[in-house]
Structure 1
Amino acid sequence: MALTAPTRTTPAARRRDADGMAVASFVLGLIGLLLFNAVFGPCAIVLGTLAIARQTERRGRALLGLTLGFIDVILLVVLVTLDNTVFWQFG
């Protein structure tokens, strides 16, 4: 068993990871409006916050994902308060 030195990420790799987090935050926040807002909303908030903290180049997308995540959580609270359920449907 050979010991290897720990790998260090370059700033470009960290920024690329942060860009991926920003996109994932947006997608999860958008999906959370329709499905599983109890799961996808908080995930979108966490990923958006991490992307902004890691100085993503896609800051607008991270902020949009963060906003959609908060809307998901607010929608969940409203649904639980009004209908005593976490599901909603059109019609």
Structure 2
Amino acid sequence: MQLTAAPNRPARTGTRDRVKDADGMAVASFVLGLLGLLVLNLFLGPIAIALAALSLKRGTTRRGRAFLGLGLGVADLAVLLALMQMSETVSWSL
């Protein structure tokens, strides 16, 4: 007698896929945080912060990259604040 898998059984997402997704989020937060220093820091900064926090919560193996993304996201908002204070507007330009 041969045992087979039930055809209606849902596919289980393994922890390997979850960590792989978290690693991707850590890299994305780093890249978006880095880009946010130059352009669209009002939008890219919070996105980088959220992605970094989510990837750390999911247990990424790229913790350093996630922390860099988190720091760069905060730096994006700090740069925006500083430049807004200097130009006394909501946006800034070079």
User: Normalising TM by the smaller chain, what interval?
Assistant: 0.7 to 0.9
Q: State the Cα distance separating 1:7 from its structure 2 match.
A: 4.3
Q: For the pair shown, which has the larger CA radius of gyration, 1 or 2?
A: 2
Structure 1 ranges of 4+ moved more than 3 A: 4-8
1:39-67 Cα distance to aligned partner (Å, 9 max, x none):
10000000000011111000000000000
Cα separation, 2, equivalents of 1:88 and 1:5: 55
**Residues 6 and 38 (structure 1 numbering): CA distance in 2 closer, same or farther, change over 3 Å?**
farther
Q: What are the ranges of 5 or more consecutive residues in structure 2 without an aligned counterpart?
A: 1-7
TM-score (norm 2): 0.84
- Of 46, 49, 54, 1:50 maps to 54
Is 1:20 the counterpart of 2:24? The answer is yes
**Number of aligned pairs?**
86
Equivalence for 1:80:
84
Tell me how large the CA RMSD over aligned residues is: 1.4
Q: State the Cα distance separating 1:86 from its structure 2 match.
A: 1.8
Q: State the Cα distance separating 1:77 from its structure 2 match.
A: 1.2
- 1:57 corresponds to which letter in structure 2? T
TM-score (norm 1): 0.87
Equivalence for 1:40:
44
Cα separation, 2, equivalents of 1:81 and 1:44: 23
Q: State the Cα distance separating 1:10 from its structure 2 match.
A: 0.9
Q: What are the ranges of 5 or more consecutive residues in structure 1 without an aligned counterpart?
A: none
Cα separation, 2, equivalents of 1:6 and 1:30: 39
Q: State the Cα distance separating 1:5 from its structure 2 match.
A: 5.6
